[in-house]
Structure 1
Amino acid sequence: MGNILIIEDERKVLDVIKAYLEKEGYNVWGATTGIEGLELFKKIDFDLILLDLMLPDIDGEEICKKIRLISKVHIFMLTAKAELGDKIEGLNIGADEYLVKPLSPRELTARVNALFRRINKDKSSLLSFDGGNLKIYKDERVVKVKEVEVNLTPNEFDILYTLASNKGKVFTREMLIDSVFHSDFDGFDRTVDVHIKNIRKKIEKDSRNPKYIITVTRVGYKFSGDN
């Protein structure tokens, strides 16, 4: 489900949190010092760090600053510091959440689950191809080529998303009409060809030798791109 790093110097607390999260299906690593935590962070691609602020070797705030210089990983700070000023400082230096101890393991697990639901939703709404050179954001209805947004009409976006979200599947013109236009369509099937031509001009490096939207002779079109 996701990789989580717990940096917590109290071994019993670490073990309890680790057990709760592993029961939920997460892959969990633990470190009892800041140095150990940073070493693990360099080796593994984590989705979330649960960071205690009061560590024996390095302050948690300093660890957060170091990580924020190189990563956008989610960070939950765990601390006994309950003052509003401490919370504001923690959020300002890069924490996503600031949780005050004592904290119920069940509540912490619920917060972690909520975060991963958001993460998974964000991932499911983004299609990325060719090492990120082509990105299609479903919810925002945005398409970017090499991080530059391209302007697609609503129909062009729907055709592209239909093809891209079914990579490798061959669509006839009639199938695209049914999927995109539904009962509102009163044109002819070659209208799809015009839309495809326009999409290619906007997303392909060479629209005459397309990389993404491939013509399947006498049948229709399919999407071909490396995830």
Structure 2
Amino acid sequence: MNQKILIVEDQLEIREVVEKYLIKEGYQVEIAENGFVALDKMTQSRFHMVILDVMMPGIDGFQVLEQIRSNSDIPVLMLTARELEVDRIKGFDLGADDYVVKPFSPRELVRRVKVILKRSFVVESENECLVFDCLKLCPHNMKLYKDEQEISLTATEFQLLSVFIQNKGIILSRDQLIRLAFGIDYEGFDRNIDSYIKRLRQKIEADPKQPIFLVTKYGAGYMFGGDA
């Protein structure tokens, strides 16, 4: 498998359990006991995914995530004892791909890791870029170009935008977007879609408050390119 995962967690017992289950599944694992160590390790090694605790001393997970997203689209799964919706939304707004609340099942965590990595590292034909107006989305390297300028996307954003471009002009509900982008095994919240779309608008729209690509159809869902 050779995929390398960084676990950022200050509680030893949780680190050891997560590490044990991931190694059993064939992943390479490195440990960081706090956010500072994690950021340092990420400058020295390449990882395929980060499992990131929120509540840590010194620098919390949200701050670490913000630093990661300033220069990387690596998949990030937040691991936290916080259960408030506002905290989950904050994580997604900052660019998290998924969120697991403690206490959790290690098997469920591994399952989520597999789903995220599967959709993050799909290799497709180089000739199948999706084009709409000034946007070009290329599945073979998971890159988005706007007016030939590359725009950085997380794996989750890429998957969602792919669904939108393939269904341009069609109104899609949150449930439809979840099913088409993430499959029936998705265990997140449907409101997460709103956070993902907010982030996409910030990246592709000239004015995110008056979108022309990702349009809200109130009471129905979202439509891509229908008004262009």
TM-score range, shorter chain: 0.5 to 0.7
Contact 2:54 2:60 in 1 (8 A): yes
Aligned to 2:210: none
Deviation at 1:57, TM superposition (A): 1.6
The whole-number CA distance in structure 1 between the counterparts of 2:89 and 2:105 is 22
Root-mean-square deviation over aligned CA pairs: 2.2
Aligned to 2:128: 137
Contact 2:34 2:57 in 1 (8 A): yes
Contact 2:9 2:32 in 1 (8 A): yes
Report the CA distance shift for 1:126/1:43 in structure 2 as closer, same or farther (over 3 A).
Answer: farther
How do residues 29-108 of structure 1 correspond to structure 2 at under 5 angstroms? Answer: 29-108=30-109
Unaligned runs of 5+ in 2: 139-144, 150-228
Alignment TM-score, normalising by the size of structure 1: 0.55
2:92 is paired with a residue whose SS is helix
> Max radius of gyration: which structure?
1
The whole-number CA distance in structure 2 between the counterparts of 1:45 and 1:126 is 25
| Between 110-119 and 60-69, the greater mean CA deviation after superposition | 110-119
Note the alpha carbon deviations across 1:60-82, whole angstroms, 9 max, x for none.
11000011101011111111110
Counterpart of 1:92, as a letter, is D
Deviation at 1:99, TM superposition (A): 1.3
After TM superposition, which residue ranges in structure 1, 4 or more long, deviate above 4 angstroms? 140-144
Unaligned runs of 5+ in 1: 128-135, 150-227
Q: Does 1:112 align with 2:113?
A: yes
The whole-number CA distance in structure 2 between the counterparts of 1:35 and 1:86 is 21
Deviation at 1:119, TM superposition (A): 2.5
The whole-number CA distance in structure 1 between the counterparts of 2:21 and 2:81 is 21
The whole-number CA distance in structure 1 between the counterparts of 2:35 and 2:137 is 40
Percent identical residues = 37
The whole-number CA distance in structure 1 between the counterparts of 2:120 and 2:91 is 22
How do residues 150-189 of structure 1 correspond to structure 2 at under 5 angstroms? Answer: none
Alignment TM-score, normalising by the size of structure 2: 0.55
Aligned to 1:17: 18
1:15 is paired with a residue whose SS is helix
Deviation at 1:126, TM superposition (A): 4.3
1:137 is paired with a residue whose SS is coil
Aligned to 1:4: 5
